[in-house]
């Protein structure tokens, strides 16, 4: 065995105890039912004068949870036959946004449509209109942290599932070839959406967050350092906060994933540590692959991994045989 394989075998042994509560499945069944009852309210505006003439570009929005409209871009290559296209749903990293249409032209060059969505209350134009009982402290990871029904990432996870609804509502989309894609926080949303929705045909997640959350808070890794800061000020809420976080820890959701998954981690990542993600990866029961980059940090080996994604998508009959 080589160095990377030895490290992989070591990480594949990492199985911290699950933290899911007795009502975990019921919580998500009721949450998804609440989401399904909410009209999608999809609004689509085509950018008629967009300079990429071989691509249709749409400014879209749909109704998210708690009276918040989620904004996104939908791009689709113009096809001679007008047939339906595989569609990538792009979830961004923490504090990011849907970006600009040109950020997503890579996918259209593959003959795919792409829906890039904002995460509420971060770096894009999408607000967060949810009400939180606790005063805003220091970052989204603290919002509503004392009640799983109120918690920020409950809204975000359900918004992410509703992005699948939005993609399926676009006439260019082949509903049987939906692909979820994201890096960091976006990778966490890929894991959550794949666990909560059976429609995606494949999931691509790089250096994912929101896994092994007790360790992430204890180590103050990434955005969950805000939760540690909150608990320094309010230590009496520690058990309640960790109870809330357990509903959103992707290691507790992983066994629900049914589609093929390709993931990557970096062993020098101090934002989303590789070991934390293996708490999730080791519990995925569907077809799965993981790439390990020993000397990369959170930036990941993006271009190298993208080449592997193309091979994976062809293997899954998403591209190449369209």
Region 270-287 average pLDDT = 98
Asked whether residue 107 is domain-assigned, the answer is no
Asked whether residue 129 is domain-assigned, the answer is yes
Per the prediction, the chain carries an average pLDDT of: 95
Region 244-266 average pLDDT = 98
pLDDT at 322: 45
Q: What is the pTM of this model?
A: 0.97
Region 299-310 average pLDDT = 94
Asked whether residue 106 is domain-assigned, the answer is no
Q: What's the domain count of the chain?
A: 1
Asked whether residue 320 is domain-assigned, the answer is no
The first and second tokens of residue 145, run together, are: 């942290």
- Residue 137 pLDDT class (50, 70, 90 cuts): low
Region 204-225 average pLDDT = 97
pLDDT at 81: 67
pLDDT in tens, 154-188: 999 999 999 999 999 999 999 999 999 999 999 99
Region 48-69 average pLDDT = 96
Q: Which positions are catalytic?
A: 184, 269, 298
Range of the domain at 170: 3-94+117-315
**pLDDT(248) > 70:** yes
pLDDT at 138: 75
Asked whether residue 11 is domain-assigned, the answer is yes
- Name the CA radius of gyration of the chain, rounded: 19
Asked whether residue 103 is domain-assigned, the answer is no
- CA contacts within 13 A on the Cβ side of 220: 8
SS (H, E, C) the chain: CCHHHHHHHHHCCCCCCCCCCCCHHHHHHHHHHHHHHCCCCCEEEECCCCCCCCEEEEEEEEECCCCCEEEEEEEEECCCCCCCEEEEEEECCCCCCCCCHHHHHHHHHCCCEEEEECCCCCCCCCCCCCCCCCCCCCCHHHCCCCCCCCCHHHHHHHHHHHHHHHHHHCCCEEEEEEEEEEECHHHHHHHHHHHHCCCCCEEEEECCCCCCHHHHHHHCCHHHHHHHHHHHHCHHHHHHHHHHHHCCCHHHHHHHCCCCEEEEEECCCCCCCHHHHHHHHCCCCCCEEEEEECCCCCCCCHHHHHHHHHHHHHHCCCCCCC
**pLDDT(269) > 50:** yes
Asked whether residue 311 is domain-assigned, the answer is yes
Asked whether residue 179 is domain-assigned, the answer is yes
CATH assignment at residue 281: 3.40.50.1820
């Amino acid at each position: 065995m080589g160095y990377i394989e030895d490290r992989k075998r070591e990480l594949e042994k990492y199985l911290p105890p699950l933290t899911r509560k007795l009502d975990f499945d019921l919580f998500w069944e009721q949450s998804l039912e609440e989401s399904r009852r909410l009209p999608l309210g999809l609004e689509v505006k085509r950018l008629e004068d967009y300079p990429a003439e071989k691509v249709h570009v749409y400014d879209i929005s749909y109704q998210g949870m708690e009276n918040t409209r989620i904004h996104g871009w939908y791009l689709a290559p113009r096809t001679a036959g007008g047939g339906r296209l595989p569609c990538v749903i792009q979830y961004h990293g923490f504090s990011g946004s849907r970006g600009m249409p040109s950020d997503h032209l890579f996918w259209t060059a593959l003959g795919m449509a792409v829906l890039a969505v904002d995460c509420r209350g971060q770096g894009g134009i999408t607000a967060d209109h949810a009400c939180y009982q606790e005063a805003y402290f220091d970052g989204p990871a603290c919002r509503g942290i004392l009640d799983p029904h109120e918690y920020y990432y409950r809204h975000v996870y359900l918004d992410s599932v509703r992005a699948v609804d939005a993609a399926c509502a676009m006439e260019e989309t082949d509903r049987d070839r939906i692909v979820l894609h994201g890096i960091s926080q976006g990778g966490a949303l890929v894991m959550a959406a794949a666990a909560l929705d059976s429609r995606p045909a494949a999931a691509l997640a790089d250096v994912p967050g929101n896994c092994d959350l007790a360790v992430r808070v204890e180590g103050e890794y990434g955005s969950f350092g805000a939760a540690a800061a909150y608990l320094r000020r309010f230590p009496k809420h520690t058990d309640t906060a960790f109870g809330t976080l357990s509903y959103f820890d992707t290691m507790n959701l992983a066994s629900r994933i049914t589609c093929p998954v390709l993931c990557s981690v970096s062993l020098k990542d101090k934002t989303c540590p590789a070991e934390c993600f293996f708490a999730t990866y080791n519990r995925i029961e569907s077809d799965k692959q993981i790439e390990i980059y020993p000397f990369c940090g959170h930036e990941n080996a993006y271009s190298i991994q993208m080449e592997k994604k193309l091979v994976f998508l062809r293997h899954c009959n998403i591209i190449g045989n369209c």
